[in-house]
Amino acid sequence: MACGFVKINRDKVSAGIAIIVIIFIFLLTCPNSQAQTSIAFKPTDIFLVPAYNGSISFRVNGTYSAATFENNTWTFTNLHLTGSQPLENLKFSAQNSNVTIFSYVTSNNTGSQTVRLRYAVEGTGKQILNLGLSPKEGGSNPSAEWTVTVNNNVFLAQGNGWSI
């Protein structure tokens, strides 16, 4: 019985190990990620609500991941307005009015959350909106307070032109 030796070329082994290490490092630093696509809009873009004779536009540039129109309501997902905080979901409908949305701001001061959506209206119609807040942030929370201000900070009581 013959016993044989295999001659290993050390240069080829070293090159093979180096290639495997480079591929491994590349895979770690470049993971397969699926980024969400943002769609940009400008103040000149108008979102019509034809059946209600209404429209919605924005005063500033921004982006969203989706804008869908269903049941005469626009739903903006992952809305980012320039100079404002992101808004995960905004549902808005305008009846016999043209709405221009300016900004969205949230703050949490001394345990109370404040959410503010600033918009202007042309026409005497009606606006229906949903900021996507959970009941904990509004509806069933006994300490929640909803206010509407118009024309130079005139506060309107609930039932005086608006309702929840």
DSSP H or E stretch at residue 64: strand 62-64
| Residue indicated by tokens 């005139």 | 154
| Residue indicated by tokens 């918009």 | 119
Give per-10-residue mean pLDDT for the chain (164 aa).
57 62 58 69 97 97 97 96 92 96 85 82 92 60 66 79 76
Q: What does the pLDDT read at residue 139?
A: 47
Q: What does the pLDDT read at residue 115?
A: 82
Nearest-angstrom CA–CA distance, 126 and 51: 13
Nearest-angstrom CA–CA distance, 144 and 49: 31
Question: Amino acid letter at 46?
Answer: I
Nearest-angstrom CA–CA distance, 132 and 63: 18
| Residue indicated by tokens 């703050």 | 107
Q: What does the pLDDT read at residue 47?
A: 97
Q: What does the pLDDT read at residue 42?
A: 97
Q: What does the pLDDT read at residue 17?
A: 65
Vertex 72, ends 69 and 74: CA angle to 5°? 40
pTM, rounded to two decimals: 0.70
Q: What does the pLDDT read at residue 24?
A: 55
Could you tell me the residue ranges of all domains in the chain? 39-132
